[in-house]
Amino acid sequence: MSHRIVTLAAWAVLAYLTTAASAQTTDSKKDDGAANQSGPTIKDAYKGIFLIGAAGDLPGGYSADELDLVRQNFNIVTPENCMKPGPVHPSENTWRFERPDALVKWCAENHIAVHGHTLVWHAQTNNWFFRDGDKAVATRRLKDHISTLVGRYKGKIRGWDVVNEAIKDGGNSETAKTENLRNSPWMKALGPDYIPLAFKFAHEADPDAKLYYNDYNIEAGPKHESSMVLLRRLVKDGVPIYGVGIQGHWNTARVPYEAIDRAIADYASLGLKVSITELDVTIRGASGGQLGRGRPRGEVSPPSAEDLKAQANAYAKLFTIFLKHKSQIERVTFWGLSDRRSWRRGQHPLIFDAANHRKPAYAAIVDALQHPKPEAATPR
Ligand code: 9MR
């Protein structure tokens, strides 16, 4: 009997010490920038406000854990590469539908919507579209491409980035008065009409699909002004455009908050919806962008607690701005799944770390619903 009491007492002491030790670990981890792993998921927290998306060529090549992460946290997926003209339509009579079909099927099985990306772009588009042909041939190839792809997934893909990145970078006060279109192969082949034509063909193939113009850095400066000139033309000409995609590849050191706030209102004033289509915010400081300098190849330097905090703050401010415009915003999509599944790997840009754990930014985004960051939501 007394032996039993001693054993129980020993267990109690051990249990106390273990709890104390683990509390200490959690506390000291917190100081290291470790994030709370519980609490509502981002897609549930933002339900009925906007769709929350991730980019990726799912499901092939993803682990079971990663697929679970997608199911739990996101309600819309953008194929990162597999539906772009180059991969899906490498030559005039060759289509590679295996990955796009698998993605659409997996998303349907998991009740996840799909946003198609992208029909017309200057990059990842093979030369055959423009070879040995006049304007009529290039127009026919554009139409065939769009009708086949959009038609195949009619009713299964919610919307499309119809034209991607048509506006030149940079600019000045003169170009700001013009559309300042990039001299892309499509521009050379068809002139500025390629843009309304692409929207027309996409709309004919799926009248219910929500059609987007998508671009980066269009929230600020002369490029923003040019985007307004272009979009005004499209709206005036009755082009079936539904929304504008602000890509959102930013960095904690210089997120143009005020410009973003204004740009969303500007696009809404044209009667267009807005989505944040490729969101990622890299961290500043020494741990941003260091792809293994002085480290074994491929190894990435970890972010500091301070950097993670700054990133969480940046994401919270951004979501406060998005919430301010919630009636105009359809969707916020992250460009990738985790810091391992990102085109900016090494710069820690997303809300899950490389081991699929929530980063401080995750809770900050959910928390922005209850506690908006006021400095980011000042009225215009
Ligand atoms: O994330 C995509 C990357 O895997 C590709 O190599 C790259 C090819 O250009 O495209 C990346 O995605 C881009 C998107 O399609 C359009 N906006 C910019 C994105 C990042 O480069």
Tell me which residue has its CA closest to atom 12 in ligand 1: 80
For every residue of 23-66, DSSP letters joined together read HHHHHHHHHTT-----S--HHHHTTTT-EEEEE---STT--HHH
CA–CA separation, 278 and 265 (whole Å): 19
Spatial neighbors of 366 by CB under 8 A, at least 6 apart, are 39, 40, 42, 45
Buried b or exposed e, range 187-213, using 16+ CB within 10 angstroms:
bebbeeebbbbbbbbbbebbeebbbbb
Cα 254 to Cα 172, 259, 261, 315, distances in angstroms: 20, 11, 15, 12
Confidence class for position 32, pLDDT limits 50, 70, 90:
low
- Confidence (pLDDT) at 34: 76
Q: Per residue in 361-379, pLDDT tens?
A: 999 999 999 988 765 544 4
- Which residues lie across from 251 on neighbouring strands? 282
The partner residues of 273 in beta bridges, in order of sequence, read 243
Ligand 1, atom 16, lies closest to the CA of 164
Alpha helices in 178-304 (DSSP H): 185-190, 194-205, 221-236, 257-269
Question: Which atom of ligand 1 is found nearest the CA of 342?
Answer: 1
Picking from 105, 104, 122, the residue whose alpha carbon sits closest to that of residue 114 is 104
pLDDT tens, residue by residue, 324-374 = 999 999 999 999 999 999 999 999 999 999 999 999 999 999 999 998 876
Residue 69 near residue 334, CB atoms below 8 Å: no
Query: Does the C-beta of 123 come closer than 6 Å to ligand 1?
Result: yes
| Ligand 1 close to Cβ of residue 378 (< 6 A) | no
Please give the single-letter amino acid code of residue 52: I
Ligand 1 atom at shortest distance from the alpha carbon of 336: 1
Chain segment 55-107, per-residue pLDDT in tens? 999 999 999 999 999 999 999 999 999 999 999 999 999 999 999 999 999 99
Cα 136 to the chain's mean position, in Å? 35
Instruction: Give catalytic residues, as residue numbers.
Output: 165, 278
User: Residue 203 CA to chain centroid, in angstroms?
Assistant: 23
81 C-beta closer than 6 A to ligand 1: yes
> If you write DSSP's letter for every residue of 263-299 in order, what string do you get?
HHHHHHHTT-EEEEEEEEEE--STTSS---TTSSTT-
Beta bridge partners of 213: 163, 244
Q: How far away, in angstroms, is 165 Cα from ligand 1 center?
A: 11
Please identify which residue in the block is written with the tokens 């003209």: 85
- Ligand 1 in contact with 80 (CB < 6 A)? yes
CA 100 to CA 32: how far, in whole Å? 40
* 222 torsion bin: left (phi>0), alpha (psi -120 to 50), beta (else): alpha
DSSP secondary structure letter of residue 370: T
Which residue has the least CA distance to atom 3 on ligand 1? 343
How much is the pLDDT for 35? 86
How many Å apart are CA 331 and CA 231, to the nearest integer?
19
Which two structure tokens, joined as six digits, stand for 113?
């919507």
Going by pLDDT thresholds of 50, 70 and 90, the confidence category of residue 301 is: confident
**CA–centroid distance, residue 248 to ligand 1 (Å):** 13
Would you say 153 and 95 are in contact if contact means Cβ atoms under 8 Å apart? Answer: no
Counting ligand 1 atoms within 8 A of each CB, the residue from 57, 77, 80 with the most, and so the one to mutate, is: 80
232-285 pLDDT, tens digit per residue, is: 999 999 999 999 999 999 999 999 999 999 999 999 999 999 999 999 999 965
Give the helix, strand, coil percentages of the chain, each rounded to 5: 45, 15, 40
Q: Is 86 close to ligand 1, i.e. is its CB under 6 Å away? A: no
What's the CA gap between 98 and 87, in Å, rounded? 11
pLDDT 10s digits, 102-155: 999 999 999 999 999 999 999 999 999 999 989 999 999 999 999 999 999 999
User: Which residue CA neighbors atom 5 of ligand 1 most closely?
Assistant: 81
Dist. CA 282–CA 348, nearest whole Å: 6
Task: Please report how the helices 194-205 and 221-236 are oriented relative to each other, as an axis angle in degrees rounded to 10.
Answer: 60
Tokens 């032996």 found at: 3
